[in-house]
Amino acid sequence: MSQTTHAGTHEHHDDHDHGPPKGIKRWLFTTNHKDIGTMYLVFALIMLFVGGAMSLVIRAELFQPGMQFVHPDFFNQMTTMHALIMVFGMIMPAFVGFANWMIPMMIGAPDMALPRLNNWSFWILPFASLLLLSTLFMPGGAPASGWTMYPPLVLQTGDAFPFLIFSVHLLGMSSILGAINIIVTIMNMRAPGMTLLKMPMFCWTWLITAYLLIAVMPVLAGGVTMLLTDQYFGTSFFQIAGGGDPVLFQHIFWFFGHPEVYIIILPAFGIISQILPTFSRKPLFGYESMVYAVAAIAFLSFIVWAHHMFTVGMPLAGQLFFMMSTMLIAIPTGVKIFNWTATMWRGSISFETPMLFSVAFLFLFTIGGFSGLMLAIVPADFQYHDSYFVVAHFHYVLVPGALFGAIAGAYYWLPKWTGHMYDETLGKVHFWLSAIFVNITFFPQHFVGLAGMPRRIPDYATQFADFNMISSIGAFGFGFSQLLFVYVIIKCVKGGQKATDQVWDNPEGLEWTVPSPAPYHTFDTAPVVK
């Protein structure tokens, strides 16, 4: 707390001289959780378009068979950069932005626990992302290894290689610092009377996500450092010639990579768990079981990593273990899906934009879940592995899953953040365009994948042409629809009608009353403790 107090007295003293910092200084030096949350969200929005432009390069090339626009090496660089930018530069910063804005307000804290660390963990991000993007302009170009950075492929990158490694270190550092801040804030700064099981669901999902981040980010850091020493310091962790094993890197990477996908989706679960009760005008069904389900998902995410590696020649016992444990994750995830559905059951539902995105999340994320269950079956996975079916699977989880969760949260809290209502009609248009185009983009990829089209290739056999064309049209439609989202946000921030408390009003203030021990889970500020 001393940090906060010092900052407070210092600012107070400044007021007499020349007031709080204005202009660019306000943003550079801010320790205010709302300012930092805003910066995270704006940065994530910019990166959405940078990473999105890269995916459009990929889809333009795949519009028809043959080589049209880019060199095969550049095509593979685009797949690498698209993934790294979207994961580390877009979706994770977006959710950290939500956490910064909402967690202090939800638990009744004046700010985050470590405000200066908060400033630092944000400002590492733009520099790390610029470093990552700069590899595209270095001799030999960015790595063409995919975001998995598998050796020996990634070791052929050339001059850009150490910059790639350094940027991954910095991005991981930013995430770890943000996670530490969230844990300390939630553990130490809750309002009197707010026990852990009275916290809003969003705080729970982020608390668990933060522990995941601290556990797995150092694993990735270790893995990429071993790549670095293999390249420049004569070690042979992954070099067969020196007695190393490239499959070791896969184990290290996926031990990070699998919990990572839950780091990406759990905050979205939290946002959906705030929105559905509000627009169903009912409390969240099975609050405690939802908390335990998130905890179970997080625990299980650590013991399923090798399901990404069924084809490396692991022993049968290993395949069986990873198959069973992967299927086990479907249980807590199913609990969440059913509880969200039960929350809406017989509710007095209205379909404002945040609710539309949340309901779409429910349907489309479930499709991604089912295809994941298919991939968990070892003999089936031998067929699906490295095909476009896998691409379809994880994009159904990440786009209508994580991204729709983030967009829903933005619409939901924009009136609270800005004091203005967003344009509801435009919001709904944005929703329908996004929902239609996201399916046009990714659903056909299931079919080409099952028909045998491999992923990460710039050219393909003619039998895949029709579905690829549909997929590319969908991708451009989806990409350009997001410009409407930017317009809605700018219009809302600049003005628009004053926000009222319509459905955003505390859902507990409706017809029914809640017995006092019930979990407090509306999206507003801390409860009044009687």
Choose, from 333, 371, 434, 472, the residue flagged as catalytic.
333
Determine the pLDDT at residue 11: 44
- Residue range 413-430: average pLDDT? 93
Contacts of 172 (CB under 8 A, 6+ apart): 217, 218, 220, 221
DSSP state of 148: T
232 is catalytic: no
Residues in the chain: 530
Q: Which secondary-structure segment (H or E) carries 151? A: none
pLDDT in tens, 275-287: 999 999 999 999 9
Determine the pLDDT at residue 502: 67
Choose, from 190, 308, 446, 521, the residue flagged as catalytic.
308
Choose, from 101, 206, 262, 388, the residue flagged as catalytic.
262
Alpha helix ranges (H) inside 246-352: 246-280, 287-300, 316-344
| pLDDT confidence tier of residue 500, bands split at 50, 70 and 90 | confident
174 is catalytic: yes
Choose, from 121, 175, 278, 326, the residue flagged as catalytic.
175
281 is catalytic: no
273 is catalytic: yes
Choose, from 38, 121, 174, 358, the residue flagged as catalytic.
174
pLDDT in tens, 15-62: 445 677 888 999 999 999 999 999 999 999 999 999 999 999 999 999
SS3 130: helix
Contacts of 188 (CB under 8 A, 6+ apart): 113
Choose, from 260, 352, 381, 423, the residue flagged as catalytic.
260
Domains and CATH numbers, the chain: 1-13+23-200+508-530 (1.20.210.10)
82 is catalytic: yes
307 is catalytic: yes
| C-beta of residue 382 within 8 angstroms of C-beta of residue 388 | no
Beta bridge partners of 498: 420
Structure-token match 């994320």, residue found: 365
> For residues 75 and 274, what is the distance between their CA atoms, to the nearest angstrom?
40
Choose, from 111, 352, 381, 423, the residue flagged as catalytic.
111
336 is catalytic: yes
> For residues 86 and 298, what is the distance between their CA atoms, to the nearest angstrom?
22
Token pair for 370? 């089912």
Choose, from 33, 101, 145, 147, the residue flagged as catalytic.
147
- Work out the percent of the chain whose per-residue pLDDT is above 70: 91
333 is catalytic: yes
111 is catalytic: yes
455 is catalytic: yes
How many C-beta neighbours within 10 Å does residue 365 have? 27
> For residues 77 and 138, what is the distance between their CA atoms, to the nearest angstrom?
12
pLDDT in tens, 312-341: 999 999 999 999 999 999 999 999 999 999
175 is catalytic: yes
pLDDT in tens, 78-105: 999 999 999 999 999 999 999 999 999 9
